[in-house]
């Protein structure tokens, strides 16, 4: 049996290797439109490759996907984060788990993952066609004809792993053979704040914040990084993922409310400030920063609250105290535009999930056609989740591609 895999990225390689492991007699060929394979793996995690996340309960793992959670719950019963670690370990690639749950290869180098995949592909005799963009695919009885610019091929089964597409036009060829497409929109991006003076504090990181999109229930939690264009960091990236569709409708113009003290409540903070006034009332506000933020950010937020650094804590008064409370718990910023996060472009949208049988990853519309990876309307937040869904769906597709009739 001949199997074509369209796309030599994370899901494509994993599907190819899964197919060959499950059905060694199958002829597996991978088609890649560019001259490079695994390009996203190469740049992921700053060149380190965030392989997966230390979330070992399947339902909990699935909750990290703004789109695809319910479908992935069952898929993770077949292949999950623990499975990923074991898969690489069997092939000599050990992992290291960091305090935030992110899992990277022990080498801290994405090339380790690429080498592992390429070595396995060579061992199994998987043929990789580079610079082989697919310009047409059609079903001919029980086979598929795949057409590139230079040639045409006939295969028994096809697994599509072309990744997320920034425009709907990149998915029209699948629409032509009967599939419904969920319009793609960007996910995992940072927020632009042109002309906002907070940009002067670029490089400042606050480890625990809670960020809300004004007028919605969307919240991102975790580290926040101030950049020369606005704000980034896990809290912001989470928001961009959970809010991908609603923020697209707003044309990326909206307001956020930052709680610089994680999810601390007003009464709790008021008591802390009252204690400071009681015990350190004679100290100047600018000289006593009681919070886990840099002194530069402390002075910036004081200025934003119209509080002089030279004023003593005991002389703050109720009005200034309320302003300080509001600034720390509900600090408002206007967002105007977005910036792609470190070239790690992720899209929400793709193949409508209800048209795919997740037990096998086979199309319910076109028998013999399978899907894996970001071509599906699945995307996760930052932290290794997008690769995990690629490994999982790729594994299932490869495992079933020759057994499904």
- Domain of 205, CATH number, reads 2.40.30.10
On the CB side of 185, CA atoms within 13 Å amount to 18
Domain containing residue 393: CATH number: 3.50.50.60
- Other C-beta atoms lying within 10 Å of the C-beta of residue 123: 11
192-237 pLDDT tens trace: 999 999 999 999 999 999 999 999 999 999 999 999 999 999 999 9
CB 232 within 8 A of CB 221: no
Final residue before a domain boundary, out of 307, 340, 373? 340
For 59, the token pair is 């339902």
Query: Are residues 207 and 278 located together in one domain of the fold?
Result: no
Query: Are residues 286 and 255 located together in one domain of the fold?
Result: no
Q: How many domains does the chain have?
A: 3
Query: Are residues 91 and 18 located together in one domain of the fold?
Result: yes
- Other C-beta atoms lying within 10 Å of the C-beta of residue 118: 16
Domain that holds residue 253: 187-262+332-340
Residue for token pair 């996907």: 65
Domain containing residue 307: CATH number: 1.10.8
Q: How many DSSP H helices and E strands does the chain contain?
A: 13, 22
Q: Where are the beta strands (DSSP E) in 110-204?
A: 127-129, 134-140, 143-148, 152-155, 157-160, 181-187, 189-192
26-44 pLDDT tens trace: 999 999 999 999 999 999 9
Taking alpha carbons only, the member of 219, 322, 224 closest to residue 263 is: 219
Which residues have CB under 8 Å from 317's CB, separation 6+?
none
Final residue before a domain boundary, out of 303, 321, 340? 340
Residue 44 lies in a domain: yes
Residue 110 lies in a domain: yes
| Distances from the Cα of 169 to the Cα of 176, 178, 179, 184, angstroms | 11, 15, 13, 10
Q: What is the pLDDT of residue 304?
A: 98
SS3 132: coil
| Distances from the Cα of 292 to the Cα of 217, 276, 299, angstroms | 26, 15, 13
Does the pTM of the predicted model rise above 0.85?
Answer: yes
Q: What is the pLDDT of residue 165?
A: 87
Q: What is the pLDDT of residue 405?
A: 61
Q: What is the pLDDT of residue 198?
A: 98
For 38, the token pair is 């695994």
| Distances from the Cα of 82 to the Cα of 55, 58, 105, 178, 398, angstroms | 8, 10, 14, 36, 19
Query: Are residues 216 and 294 located together in one domain of the fold?
Result: no
Q: What is the pLDDT of residue 166?
A: 83
Residue 242 lies in a domain: yes
Task: Enter the DSSP assignment of 397.
Answer: H
Query: Are residues 292 and 170 located together in one domain of the fold?
Result: no
Phi, psi of 344 (to 5 degrees): -90, 70
Query: Are residues 21 and 145 located together in one domain of the fold?
Result: yes
Query: Are residues 173 and 199 located together in one domain of the fold?
Result: no
| Distances from the Cα of 388 to the Cα of 46, 79, 398, angstroms | 17, 9, 15
Q: What is the C-alpha radius of gyration for the chain, rounded to an integer number of angstroms?
A: 25
CB 134 within 8 A of CB 173: yes
Mean pLDDT per 10-residue segment, the chain (405 residues) = 98 99 98 97 94 98 98 98 99 98 98 99 98 93 94 98 90 93 95 97 98 97 97 96 97 98 97 97 97 97 98 97 98 96 78 98 98 98 97 99 81
CB 66 within 8 A of CB 353: no
SS3 98: coil
Residue 405 lies in a domain: no
Q: State the Cα–Cα distance between residues 43 and 343, nearest whole angstrom.
A: 8
Phi, psi of 231 (to 5 degrees): -135, 145
CB 20 within 8 A of CB 10: no
Q: What is the pLDDT of residue 404?
A: 65
Residue 104 lies in a domain: yes
């Amino acid at each position: 049996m001949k199997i074509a895999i369209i796309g030599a990225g994370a899901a494509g390689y994993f599907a190819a290797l899964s197919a060959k492991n499950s059905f060694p007699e199958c002829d597996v060929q991978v088609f890649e439109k560019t001259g490079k394979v695994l390009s996203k793996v190469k740049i992921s995690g700053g060149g380190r490759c965030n392989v997966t996340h230390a979330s070992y309960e399947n339902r909990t793992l699935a909750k990290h996907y703004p789109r695809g959670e319910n479908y992935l719950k069952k898929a993770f019963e077949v292949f999950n984060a623990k499975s990923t670690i074991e898969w690489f370990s069997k092939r000599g690639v050990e992992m290291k788990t960091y305090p935030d749950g992110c899992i990277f290869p022990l080498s801290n180098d994405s090339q380790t993952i690429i080498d592992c995949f390429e070595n396995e592909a060579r061992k199994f005799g998987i043929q990789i066609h580079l610079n082989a963009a697919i310009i047409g695919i059609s079903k001919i009885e029980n086979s598929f004809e795949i057409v590139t610019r230079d040639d045409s091929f006939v295969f028994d089964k096809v697994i599509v792993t072309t990744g997320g597409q920034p425009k709907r036009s990149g998915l029209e060829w699948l629409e032509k053979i009967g599939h419904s497409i969920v319009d793609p929109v960007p996910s995992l991006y940072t927020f632009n704040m042109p002309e906002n003076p907070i940009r002067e504090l670029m490089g400042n990181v606050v480890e625990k914040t809670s960020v809300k999109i004004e007028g919605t229930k969307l919240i991102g939690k975790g580290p926040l990084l101030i950049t020369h264009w606005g704000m980034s960091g896990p809290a912001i990236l989470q928001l961009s993922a959970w809010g991908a569709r609603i923020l697209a409708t707003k044309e990326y113009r909206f307001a956020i409310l930052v709680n610089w003290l994680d999810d601390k409540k007003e009464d709790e903070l008021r008591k802390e400030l009252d204690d400071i006034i009681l015990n350190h009332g004679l100290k100047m506000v600018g000289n006593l920063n009681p919070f886990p933020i840099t002194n530069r950010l402390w002075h910036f937020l004081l200025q934003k609250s119209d509080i002089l650094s030279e004023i003593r804590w005991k002389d703050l008064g109720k009005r200034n105290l309320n302003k300080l409370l509001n600034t720390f718990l509900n600090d408002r910023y206007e967002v105007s535009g977005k910036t792609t996060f470190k070239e790690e472009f992720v899209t929400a949208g793709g193949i409508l999930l209800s048209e795919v049988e997740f037990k096998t990853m086979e199309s319910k519309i076109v028998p013999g056609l399978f899907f894996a990876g970001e071509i599906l309307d699945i995307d996760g937040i930052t932290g290794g989740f997008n690769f995990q869904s690629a490994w999982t769906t790729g594994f299932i597709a490869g495992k079933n591609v020759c057994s499904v009739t």
